[in-house]
Amino acid sequence: MEEILAYLMLHKIETLLVGFAIIVLAFVITHWQEVKFWWLNFTYNFPFIGKIATLSRDIEGFDENHKWFYSEERLCRDYYNFYEKVDKDSESFDEAKAYLHAAGELGRKPTPTLIWIMIFVLVIVEAFGFAYVLAGFTIPGASEATQQKGAVGVAAMLAVLLVWLTHMTGQELHKNTLIKKIRRWYKNDNAGGSNWRDLKPDEQLISIDNTFDDEKSPNYIRMLNRIDINDKVKTTYTKTILTLLFIGIVAIGATYIRDQVLKQEIASSHESAINIFNEGASPFGESDTATDDDIGALFGDTAVDDVKEDLGSLFGDAVKTETPSKASNNSSVIDETNLKGGEATFMILGLMFVFIQILGIFFGMHWDFAGRESKEAYECLRGFSTKKAFLSFYENAKTHIARTAQKQLQKLQHAMNIINDNSGTDAETTSLLRNNKDRTFKQYLTFEDK
């Protein structure tokens, strides 16, 4: 963890950019429709190569049935795709709420933006942790820079795969809870003698639009009509087993690699110390150590005894009896302490990794939906508990889209008239372009709804 924090502090700008990208990505995921509508307006208003600029050049294509230019219809159709999604009434509110209630998911919500930000942050942290572990093992023999790049790539792939697997596992476990509820209700009905049919969905496909068609069916059949499950109506744990197996392999493998790296670092430190000791320059010959004979040859036979006596008076008699084996024992104790401490740390990191994956599974269980159209029903409700607030919101949304579409249509018609004036077409086309009061977005809605 210290290495990861040091790396983040060393690359502050890159870290801030990644954090900003995570926030933007989470916002895009949770507000996808708003982002798409903004992008539609951006593409229409972009100068020179925008859609208004390109569509305005088509002043000859004319629809004789609707008495509209094709370019005008194209613009209105693009905005109608968004208008249609917010064209809701009181019946839509009742249908969406009834669908979620029958599916057993009334009150559930999609994954919030804050949770997605947390998930992406965990992915980044996991990727850095894996990259540090895998560096040096991904591409043996390659340069250090290449190994780091390879480690980051493999680590990012593992992190994203784990997020995907844990989220799917959470959704599978949520669906299993609904299946257990269906079977329990069916069993209780059967025990009470009121069961009148087999445990299978109706032949008619139930959607939001016809959610009231199975009102007379038992609650467990209504729930069964809205969930895709196997023909035996039994729980499945395929994704869960696969995810747990993958998490276990990664956790054990990462811990093992960390342990091997630690042992390698300890061995390398000893090798470096030996090399430094052996490579030290010495004036006494190839052995690089000054023996008693070498000192005697330079300074006389009595110099050896004098040196030993001086060392004894300074450091005590222990210097005479200090042996290499004692230093080796001290080094062994330090190595053993480092090794045990490292192994304990790796165990904690492994447990933290497993806990993060369990957290991802919990997120998948707590949020999102198992019903075929539950997400669409929730998006229709928009979290409104009262019909009045629901209708007010969608009325404002329809008005906003209709006004925006009409403004864009007027820009297109104005641009088409300018091009027509500059190019000089026939009188009939000129008359059609100028008489555009009846070609409005409101008028387009009348024949589109037909």
Q: Which of 37, 18, 23 is nearest to 113 (CA)?
A: 23
Successive 10-residue mean pLDDT values, the chain, 450 residues: 60 71 77 90 92 90 86 94 91 93 90 81 72 62 64 74 89 94 88 68 88 90 91 90 90 77 68 55 47 53 54 50 54 68 73 85 90 91 86 93 95 91 79 87 82
Q: Residue 198's pLDDT is what?
A: 76
Kindly give the residue spans of alpha helices, DSSP state H, lying in 31-112: 32-45, 51-55, 70-85, 90-102
Q: Residue 396's pLDDT is what?
A: 93
- For residues 268 and 262, give the distance between their C-alpha atoms in angstroms, rounded to a whole number: 10
Q: Residue 230's pLDDT is what?
A: 86
Q: Residue 263's pLDDT is what?
A: 72
The domain locations on the chain are: 2-238+370-449
- The dihedral sign for the CA sequence 323, 325, 326, 328: positive
Q: Output phi, psi for 63, to 5 deg.
A: -90, 110
Q: Residue 62's pLDDT is what?
A: 86
Q: Which of 432, 398, 410, 395 is nearest to 75 (CA)?
A: 410
Q: Residue 100's pLDDT is what?
A: 93
pTM given for the model: 0.66
